């Protein structure tokens, strides 16, 4: 164990910046929030300035100590925890957490990488603006982690992934130098757009230390509808119509297979579906606009046209914010209900919008034909082509059996998606848990390009080994 | 001269695919459309399939013959013409020009790289959709060139740069292998987003052969206003208000300094400004929406609020498409008028929206104080922070004097923009004509990263030498 290196790291930080791996307070940095991954590390480092990040990067580079950068540690693919033997340090950005500036006239906000997403959203709202990135973990995930993983969420439909929201970046590269790109410019066409490489690189190329993001006008007028339709194909046709009628003012278009309702009820027995009659597919749709636009009339015009076209079975427009929250609660409760149901097979699939219905149909048919007693469910961000097609195991199976057999089931689902030209990771990333399938699907040219970029930025391979690339 | 290589290239193409550099029909590929740059080449190659592009790339790699990829050859920074001695081949994509597929349900279109932008726009429109990229050269520029240069234009405000419109790419890399990324997925979070590197790389990393782009609902309802305001600061405040009131349905927010009107008149003596009274800054604003939204009422609500707030002097909303075209004609005629005026100093500057007014003020003051008889004008895409601040020389100066002295003036303007954290190239790119200033402004870390990417993808340096990087 490189004691000299650890002493140098300790000296580069303040007293509370260095946590011994054996200390009780180190524990929460060593496992991911699912509890499935428990790593080990030499130490946990908590820099509180960009200069400290540079200093520790230089020490680690000198001593060849691998670094695992960690934000809010809310990822779903084990990208921010150490995977192998305890030869790495965890670098937590949690103390580098200031909102640096809101530039209201530029519709932008600058923040340290460790600032919690919710604090960015609050800072925007205090200027009557919106930072639209919205995910379940927004109360604890950090903007630097959102950038490193190109986080998605429920507002991607209108505002895009994190990549689309980033106007500037600042990062410490593996040689300890600061890469400065916090321009805040909307148009800047000078050569390679290097920040695009860091976005979504999962800590494998450097440590993001600062971010400048786009803000948007806050929609004063939000309308929410809960709809019942006859099939996923109808839901997708309705989506196409909704885009056209609503001029891309839609902020969400979520589908929920009716089989998910039992899971929502498992989490919340008070669950009431606001539909008359049984419909195989539910759609939760939201649009946002300024007070100068009559959002209610727009939504009503859409629903009338959809009903006329035979795409819509039944539906309710929320009459209050409370009712809108109740609609969204069904979507949130079904996720909770899955967790309550126990270990299951989870996916984060995407295909072209024109293949969503087919993908769900093929996957469902595959499970029902081949996996007796396993129950497929489908829900997700249909407007983005992103479906969480999950499978609940027979209740009699143990967690170990579910894990073991679930791997084969997952392979089957991935095969279907691959055949349709889709992705096994629409938004969760690759991390450690999806690395094998990631490399398996890459073409030789793509493998070569990925390896070349890694080698160009991190020739010693000290950045997050085992995540995205092999360790 | 490598005769064997040229014979191999000739054999790899069909009879009309290989043009001798000395042939008269080679001429139009050798100079850029401004006529300022006249290059030389060994030959002009016109592949008509992706396989032919691969074949010629492999031959060039084997013989170390540099390649200059060329699309519609409408760029403004000499990125697609050979700069140095005649040791290169020009590869024109003009025969690789099919629309491959419109996937209406996915809101996407696939095309060969050599397809002319207007043909993509027409194909989208035939499905009642919109491909929003819009530039003066759209009748002759090619989508592959748009991607390689990350083209901007007049609809960036609502729809983004070309980068934001690309969902998939296919490119031949310098080793002749095909990099395949035509997924058409809206969400795909698998590792490094390699297509981002090729977008805006100006032919320095490979040859784009196919593109998949996003389509949008075609706004049935377009409203256009021509407004007079008291200052650029007021124009920018009006922009902020317009974003909020109009829920980002704005498609254009162009500013025109009143001094530009004389240039519009020079091109078109019938120019009539639709304003009562004299206003120092004119704003051309457009919004687009579906027929289910009352765009006229929205625009009127905005103008009433702006007038109330003292931001608006006078204005006219177009009552017909003909009147809207007349408003836009002023914007187009001023560009023509500049060309008619003769050689002048042109820029393509961007700053944060919060610095636009200050940048124009500082630049104007610099010219008026230091450059007797030179006349500054300012117009551009203010909603993107992108201003074309150009300077007309005294009429008595010769073209040579303008070129020589204009370089110093340009340095002065660039200094101002650099001081404000802006860019010397908002949308035109770097090419050959801006390479020196590009490298001058880069930090050592940025230079290193740019060189590392180039070395990783094009280790032999055969792709477009002299463009972006030195030759």
Q: Is the pLDDT of residue B54 over 60?
A: yes
Residue B118 sits in a domain of what CATH number? Answer: 3.30.465.10
Predicted confidence (pLDDT) per residue in A296-314, tens digit: 999 999 999 999 999 999 9
Which chain A residue has its CA at the smallest distance from B386's CA?
A187
E-strand ranges in A39-117 read 43-45, 67-70, 89-92, 99-103, 108-112
Q: What percent of chain A has pLDDT over 70?
A: 99
A window 278-307, beta carbon within 8 A of B: 288-290, 292-293, 297-298, 301-302
Whether residue A109 is found in the same domain as residue A211: yes
* pLDDT (tens digit per residue) in B315-341: 999 999 999 999 999 999 999 999 999
Q: What CATH number is attached to the domain comprising A384?
A: 3.30.70.2740
- Shared-domain flag, residues B240 and B285: yes
Pairing of strands B99-103, B108-112: antiparallel
B363 found inside a domain? yes
Q: Which of residues 7-66 of A touch B (CB under 8 A)?
A: none
User: Residue B1: is its pLDDT beyond 60?
Assistant: no
Q: Is B168 on the interface with A (CB under 8 A)?
A: no
The pLDDT of residue A28 is 93
Q: How far apart are CA B110 and CA B211, in angstroms?
A: 6
- Residues in chain B with CB shorter than 8 Å from the CB of A150 are 189, 193
Assess whether B121 and B150 both reside in one domain. yes
Return the CATH number at B249: 3.30.70.2190
Instruction: Indicate if the pLDDT at residue B12 is higher than 60.
Output: yes
How many C-beta neighbours within 10 Å does residue B114 have? 25
Spell out the residues 6+ positions from residue A34 whose beta carbon is closer than 8 angstroms to its own. A76
Tokens matching residue A465 = 């080994």
Report the run of H or E that residue A441 belongs to, with start and end: helix A435-441
Report the pLDDT averaged over residues B342-368: 97
Taking CA–CA distances from B251, the nearest residue in chain A reads: A247
User: B67-70: long-range contacts at Cβ-Cβ below 8 A with a sequence spacing of 24 or more?
Assistant: B67/B91, B67/B203, B67/B207, B67/B462, B67/B463, B67/B464, B68/B39, B68/B41, B68/B203, B68/B464, B68/B467, B69/B93, B69/B144, B69/B148, B69/B203, B69/B207, B69/B208, B69/B463, B69/B464, B70/B29, B70/B145
CA-CA distance, B112 to B46, in Å (whole number)? 14
Q: At A422, is the secondary structure helix, strand, or coil?
A: coil
- Residue B96 is encoded by which pair of tokens? 């690789």
Q: Judge whether residue A1 has pLDDT over 70.
A: no
Asked if A52 and A12 touch (Cβ cutoff 8 Å), the reply is yes
Question: Does residue A282 surpass a pLDDT of 80?
Answer: yes
CB of B114 within 8 A of CB of B95?
yes
Instruction: Count CB neighbours of B339 within 10 A.
Output: 13
Residue A86, pLDDT score: 72
Q: Any chain A CB within 8 A of the CB of B180?
A: yes
One domain, residues B70 and B105: no
Is residue B432 assigned to a domain?
Answer: no
Q: DSSP per residue over A265-322, as a string?
A: HHH-TT-----SS--SEEEEEEEEE-TTS-HHHHHHHHHHHHHHTT---EEEE-SSHH
pLDDT at residue B83, rounded to an integer = 78
Bridge partners, residue A30, by sequence: none
Residue B456 tokens read as 């990783």
Mean local confidence (pLDDT), A284-299: 97
DSSP 8-state class, residue A353: G
Please tell me the distance from the alpha carbon of residue B227 to that of residue B139, in angstroms, as a whole number.
29
- DSSP bridge pairs for B20: B43
- Are B225 and B250 found together in one domain? yes
Q: How far is CA B339 from the centre of its chain?
A: 18
- Mean pLDDT (chain B) is 96
Name the domain boundary from B307, B340, B373. B340
Q: Which of A191-205, B76-90, B193-207 has the lowest mean pLDDT?
A: B76-90
Instruction: Pick the last residue of a domain from A66, A92, A118.
Output: A92
How far apart, in whole angstroms, are the C-alpha atoms of residue B299 and residue B284? Answer: 12
Q: Are B88 and B68 in contact (CB under 8 A)?
A: yes
Say whether A51 sits in a helix, a strand or coil: helix
Which of A31, A60, A92 is the C-terminal boundary of a domain?
Answer: A92
A334 and A291 both lie in a single domain: yes
Same-domain check for residues B413 and B363:
yes
Number of domains composing chain A: 4
The CA-CA-CA angle for residues B103, B104, B110, to 5°, reads 35
Q: Which neighbouring-strand residues pair with B387?
A: B349, B380
Q: Are A132 and A151 in contact (CB under 8 A)?
A: no
Reported as a single tens digit per residue, the pLDDT across B90-106 is 999 999 999 999 999 99
Contact A43, A51 (CB under 8 A): no
- Lowest-confidence segment of A34-38, A142-146, A175-179 by average pLDDT: A34-38
Residue B443 lies in a domain: no
Q: CA geometry: angle at B311 spanning B307 and B315, to 5°? A: 60
For A181-196, letters b (16+ CB in 10 Å) and e give: bbbbbbbbbbbbbbbb
Q: With contacts defined as CB-CB under 8 Å, which chain B residues touch A445?
A: 173, 177-180
Chain B residues with beta carbon closer than 8 angstroms to that of A130? none
The pLDDT score that the predictor gives to residue B323 is 98
Q: Residue B116 domain-assigned?
A: yes
> What percent of chain A has a predicted confidence (pLDDT) above 90?
94
In a mutational test of the B interface, the residue from A77, A147, A154, A189 whose CB has the highest number of chain B CBs within 10 Å is: A189
Scan residues 199-258 of A and list those with Cβ closer than 8 Å to B.
199-202, 216-217, 219, 236-237, 240, 243-249
Asked whether residue B250 carries a pLDDT value surpassing 60, the answer given is yes
**Pair (A123, A143) in one structural domain:** yes
* Dihedral-angle region of residue B160 (phi above 0 means left; psi in -120 to 50 means alpha; beta otherwise): left
For chain A, the average pLDDT equals 96
Residue range A70-101, pLDDT digits in tens: 999 999 999 999 877 678 999 999 999 999 99
Q: Say if residue B354 is in the same domain as residue B377.
A: yes
Is B466 within a domain? Answer: no
The structure tokens listed for A410 are 């997952």
Residue A75 in domain: yes
Under 8 Å between Cβ of B113 and B142: yes
Among A187, A244, A427, the residue with its CB nearest the CB of B217 is A244
Residue A137 has pLDDT above 80, yes or no: yes
d(CA A28, CA A31): 6
Most A-contacting residue of B133, B187, B351, B460 (CB-CB within 10 A), to test interface? B187
Residue with tokens 């279907």: A416
Residues B117 and B86 in one domain: no
Residues making up chain B, counted from first to last: 471
B320: containing domain: 221-340
Given a cut of 90, whether residue B82 has pLDDT beyond it is no
Q: Which residues contact B65 (CB under 8 A, 6 or more apart)?
A: B2, B5, B42, B59, B87, B88, B89, B462
Give SS3 for A38.
strand
Report CA dihedral (B219, B225, B231, B233) to the nearest 10 degrees. Answer: -20
Please report the sign of the dihedral spanned by the C-alpha atoms of residue A231, residue A234, residue A236, residue A238: negative
Q: What is the 3-state secondary structure (H, E, C) of chain B?
A: CCHHHHHHHHHHCCHHHEEECCCHHHHHHHECCCCCCECCCCEEECCCCHHHHHHHHHHHHHHCCCEEEECCCCCCCCCCCCCCCCCCEEEECCCCCCEEEEEHHHCEEEEECCCEHHHHHHHHHCCCEECCCCCCCCCCCEHHHHHHHCCCCCCHHHHCCHHHHEEEEEEECCCCCEEEECCCCCCCCCCCCCHHHHCCCCCCCCEEEEEEEECEECCCEEEEEEEEECCHHHHHHHHHHHHHHHCCCEEEEEEEEHHHHHHHHHHCCCCCCCCCCCCCEEEEEEEEECCCCCHHHHHHHHHHHHHHCCCCCEEEECCCHHHHHHHHHHHHHHHHHHHHHCCCECCEEECCHHHHHHHHHHHHHHHHHHCCCCEEEEEEEHHHCEEEEEEECCCCCCHHHHHHHHHHHHHHHHHHHHHCCCECECCCCCCCCCHHHHHHHCCHHHHHHHHHHHHHHCCCCCECCCCCCCC
Task: Kindly state whether residues A309 and A262 are assigned to the same domain.
Answer: yes
d(CA A195, CA A182): 10
Q: Would the pLDDT of B202 be above 90?
A: yes
Across the range B235-260, mean pLDDT stands at 97
DSSP-assigned beta bridge partners for residue A388: A379
Distance from CA of A194 to the nearest CA of B (A): 8
pLDDT (average), residues B59-68: 96
Is residue A440 included in any domain, yes or no? Answer: no
Query: Residue A407 has what DSSP assignment?
Result: H
A181 part of a folded domain: yes
Give yes or no for B451 touching A (CB within 8 A). no
Shortest CA gap B176–chain A (Å): 10
Find the Cα–Cα–Cα–Cα dihedral A91, A93, A96, A98, rounded to 10°: 170
Q: Strand A129-130 and strand A67-70: pairing?
A: unpaired
* A35 dihedral zone (left: phi>0; alpha: psi -120 to 50; beta): left
Q: A194 and A178 in one domain?
A: yes
Q: Judge whether residue B56 has pLDDT over 70.
A: yes
Q: Half-sphere exposure of residue A145, counting CA atoms within 13 Å on the CB side? A: 33
Distance from CA of A357 to the nearest CA of B (A): 11
Paired tokens of A401: 């059996």
Q: How many residues in total does chain A contain?
A: 471
From the list A189, A424, A427, which residue is nearest B200 (CB)? A189
Nearest CA in chain B to A172: B445
């Amino acid at each position: 164990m490189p004691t000299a290196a650890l002493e140098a790291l300790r000296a580069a930080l303040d007293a509370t910046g260095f946590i011994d791996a054996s200390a009780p307070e180190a524990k929460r940095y060593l496992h991911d929030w699912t509890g499935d991954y428990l790593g080990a590390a030499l130490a946990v480092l908590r820099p509180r300035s960009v200069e400290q990040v540079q200093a520790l990067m230089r020490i680690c580079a000198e001593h060849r100590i691998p670094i695992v950068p960690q934000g809010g540690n809310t990822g779903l693919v084990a990208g921010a925890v150490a995977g192998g033997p305890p030869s790495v340090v965890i670098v937590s950005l949690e103390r580098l957490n200031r909102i640096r500036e809101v530039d209201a006239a530029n519709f932008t906000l600058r923040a340290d990488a460790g600032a919690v997403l919710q604090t960015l959203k609050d800072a925007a709202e205090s200027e009557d603006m919106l930072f639209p990135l919205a995910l379940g973990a927004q109360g604890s995930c950090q903007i630097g982690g959102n950038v490193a993983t190109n986080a998605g969420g429920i507002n991607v439909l209108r505002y895009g992934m994190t990549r689309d929201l980033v106007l500037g970046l600042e990062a410490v590269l593996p040689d300890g130098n600061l890469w400065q790109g916090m321009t805040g410019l909307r148009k800047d066409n000078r050569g390679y757009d290097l920040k695009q490489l860091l976005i979504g690189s999962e800590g494998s190329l450097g440590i993001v230390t600062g971010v400048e993001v786009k803000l948007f006008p806050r929609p004063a007028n939000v309308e929410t509808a809960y709809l019942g339709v006859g099939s996923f194909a109808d839901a997708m046709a309705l989506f196409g119509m909704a885009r056209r009628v609503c001029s891309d003012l839609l902020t969400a278009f979520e589908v929920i297979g009716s089989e998910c309702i039992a899971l929502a009820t498992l989490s919340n027995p008070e669950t009431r579906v606001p539909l008359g009659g049984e419909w195989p597919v539910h759609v939760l749709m939201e649009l946002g606009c300024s007070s100068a636009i009559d959002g209610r009339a727009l939504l009503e015009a859409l629903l009338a046209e959809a009903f006329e076209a035979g795409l819509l079975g039944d539906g309710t427009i929320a009459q209050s914010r409370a009712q809108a929250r109740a609609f969204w609660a069904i979507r949130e409760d079904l996720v909770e209900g899955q967790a309550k149901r126990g270990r299951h097979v989870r996916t984060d699939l995407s295909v072209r919008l024109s293949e969503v219905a087919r993908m769900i149909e093929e996957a469902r048919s595959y499970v029902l034909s081949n996996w007796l007693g396993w129950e497929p469910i489908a829900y997700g961000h249909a407007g983005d082509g992103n479906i969480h097609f999950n499978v609940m195991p027979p209740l009699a199976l143990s967690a170990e059996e579910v894990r073991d057999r679930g791997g084969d089931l997952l392979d089957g689902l991935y095969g279907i998606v691959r055949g349709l030209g889709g992705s096994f990771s629409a938004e969760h990333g690759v991390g450690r848990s999806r690395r094998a399938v990631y490399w398996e699907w890459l073409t030789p040219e793509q493998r070569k390009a990925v390896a070349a970029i890694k080698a160009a930025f991190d020739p010693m391979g000290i950045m997050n080994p085992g995540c995205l690339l092999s360790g």
